[in-house]
Amino acid sequence: MTKSKLHAHFDCVSGVAGDMTLAALVSAGWPVAELERLPARLHLEDVRVQARDVRRGAFAAKHVTVEFPEKQPHRHLHHVEAILDQADLPAAVRERAKEVFRRLAEAEAVVHGTTIQKVHFHEVGAVDAIVDVAGALLGLDTLGVQSVSASRLPLGRGSVDSQHGRIPVPAPATALLLRGVPVSGGPVDGELVTPTGAALLTTLARSWGDAPSFRLTAVGTGAGTREFPDHPNILRLLLGETETVSGSAGERRVAVLETAVDDENPQFLAAAVTELLAQGALDAMVAPVTMKKGRSGMWLVVVCEPPDAGRLADSVLAMTSSLGVRVREERRIELPRRVLEVATEYGPIQVKLAILPGGNTRAVPEFESVSQAARGSGATLHAVSAAAMRAFEELPTTP
C-alpha cells in the first residue's frame, strides 16, 4: 500500500527572506485571503498584509508587503512568545513559530554577548518578522506540507546597514544560524539571506542541495523587493508528492560528528553524551579505541539533523578535550516508528513501535518509562517490561 506525502523544496535562487517565503506560498496556492487575515489572527492592530503581481527578470512572481506603524517597540523573546500564545493559530504552528524565534534569540544573544531572555530582537523582533514567521508556518500547514528541503543558499556579498551600523554580509546572526548549512557567496551585491529567512529554513529543512525525487504538483515564485541587473530576485517553492510504501523503510540525510580523545575522564564523556542528547542529537555514543602509539582512547560519535551539526560540534569542543570534530552527511535508512502508551498493573508504560517492511510491527517498551514504573511500584524492570509487552499484545488492533 502506498501513501503520498506533500513535500516542499525551497529553490533559493536569491537566498531566502520571510516576505519572499510568504509570497512563494501564495503563488503556490495558499489563498491570499488567508494571508490578509493573518494580522487579525495574531491580534496585531493597524497591520495590513498585501500581495501583488510583479516581475523579476523573466519571472512573473508574487510580492508581499507588511504595512504597520513606523514606531515599534524593542521586543524580547517573551513578548514575541506572548503574541504567539494568544494568536488564533493551530497549536503546532504556534509551537513551531516559537521554536523559530528561540533560534533567532540564541543567535542574537551570542552576537551581543547576552542571554536569550535579555536580548533585544531589533529588526527580527519587528511586527513584520512575526507576520513572516507565523504566516510561513501557517501557509505550509494549510497546504498540507509534511516535509521540507532546501537548495544551497547564496548569501550575497558586500555589507548592509543595521541598527548597529554597517555590517558585512551575511549578518552575524545569519552566519550563526547557518552553521552546518551549504552556502556560497554572491551572485550579487547585497544581503540575500536574512536572519528571519535563515531561522525559518534551518528549523524546517531536513536536507539541503538538489530537490529530492518527487512528483511535482505546484510551483510558487516569491519576489524580493530589490531588483538586480541580470539576476532574478526570486525564491521558488516546488511542491510535490512523495510516495512511500506503508511499513517500508524511509531514507533521509543525517549529519555524523566524530572525534577521538585519549586524555579525557570517561565520566566527563558520559556526561557529554547525556547533554548532547538533551541538546537535540538524534543519537550519541562512546566506544573504546586504540590510538596512535598504542594509546587507549575513546571514540565519540554524534548523529544529528544536518542544520544542528555546527551547533553540536561547538558543544563537543566545549565539553570535551577534543581539538577538532569531523563532520559529514550520510544517508540513513530508517523504519517508520511511533510511541504509544499501554495500561499495566504498574501504571501506564510507553512502547516504541517500529513498522517493518511488509507491515508487521516490532514493539519495545521504553526503558525510561519502565524504570519509572518499577521505582514507583517496587517491581523489577523485567516484570514491568513483560507486563508492557502483554498489554501491547492484548490490544485488539495495533493503534
Model confidence pLDDT, tens digit, residues 359-375: 788 899 999 899 999 99
Distance CA 399, CA 395 (A): 8
Residues 99, 193, single domain; the answer is yes
Residues 94, 194, single domain; the answer is yes
Place of cell 490578509: 36
Residues 286, 369, single domain; the answer is no
User: b or e along 350-374 (b: 16 or more beta carbons within 10 Å of the residue's beta carbon)?
Assistant: bbebbbeeeeeeebebbeebbebbb
When pLDDT is cut at 50, 70 and 90, the band that residue 121 belongs to is low
Distance CA 138, CA 359 (A): 33
Judged against a pLDDT cut of 80, whether residue 163 lies above it is answered with: no
Q: Give 30's contacts (C-beta < 8 A, 6+ positions apart).
A: 139, 142, 143
Judged against a pLDDT cut of 80, whether residue 72 lies above it is answered with: no
Residues 27, 127, single domain; the answer is yes
Judged against a pLDDT cut of 80, whether residue 159 lies above it is answered with: yes
Residues 21, 165, single domain; the answer is yes
Report pLDDT for 355.
81
Select from 281, 336, 306, 36 the least CA-distant residue to 148: 306
Judged against a pLDDT cut of 90, whether residue 247 lies above it is answered with: no
Judged against a pLDDT cut of 80, whether residue 147 lies above it is answered with: yes
Kindly state whether residue 398 falls inside one of the protein's structural domains.
Answer: no
8 A C-beta contact, residue 8 and residue 123: no
140-154, 236-250, 372-386: least confident range: 236-250
Which three cell numbers mark 249? 523503510
Select from 204, 200, 202, 50 the least CA-distant residue to 124: 200
Mean pLDDT score, 316-328: 94
Residues 128, 168, single domain; the answer is yes
Distance CA 162, CA 2 (A): 50
Distance CA 372, CA 304 (A): 27
Residues 269, 237, single domain; the answer is no
Q: Read off the pTM.
A: 0.66
Residues 290, 344, single domain; the answer is no
Task: Count the domains in the chain.
Answer: 3
Report pLDDT for 244.
55
Distance CA 276, CA 293 (A): 30
Q: Domain boundary residue among 313, 334, 355? A: 334
Q: Domain boundary residue among 245, 280, 296? A: 245
Residues 226, 308, single domain; the answer is no
41-50, 64-73, 173-182: least confident range: 64-73
Kindly state whether residue 73 falls inside one of the protein's structural domains.
Answer: yes
When pLDDT is cut at 50, 70 and 90, the band that residue 2 belongs to is very low
Kindly state whether residue 317 falls inside one of the protein's structural domains.
Answer: yes
Residues 256, 369, single domain; the answer is no
What's the domain range around 266?
Answer: 252-334
- Write down the mean pLDDT value for the chain: 90
Residues 294, 348, single domain; the answer is no
Distance CA 61, CA 274 (A): 47
Q: Domain boundary residue among 245, 266, 291? A: 245
Q: Which residues pair with 10 in a beta bridge?
A: 150, 237
Q: Give 136's contacts (C-beta < 8 A, 6+ positions apart).
A: 18, 21, 22, 25, 200
When pLDDT is cut at 50, 70 and 90, the band that residue 248 belongs to is low
Task: Say how far residue 68 (Cα) sits from the centre of its chain.
Answer: 28
Residues 223, 178, single domain; the answer is yes
- Give φ, ψ of 363 to 5 degrees: -115, 135
Kindly state whether residue 399 falls inside one of the protein's structural domains.
Answer: no
Distance CA 324, CA 344 (A): 48
Model confidence pLDDT, tens digit, residues 295-315: 999 999 999 988 888 899 999
Report pLDDT for 124.
46
Report pLDDT for 209.
86
Report pLDDT for 178.
93
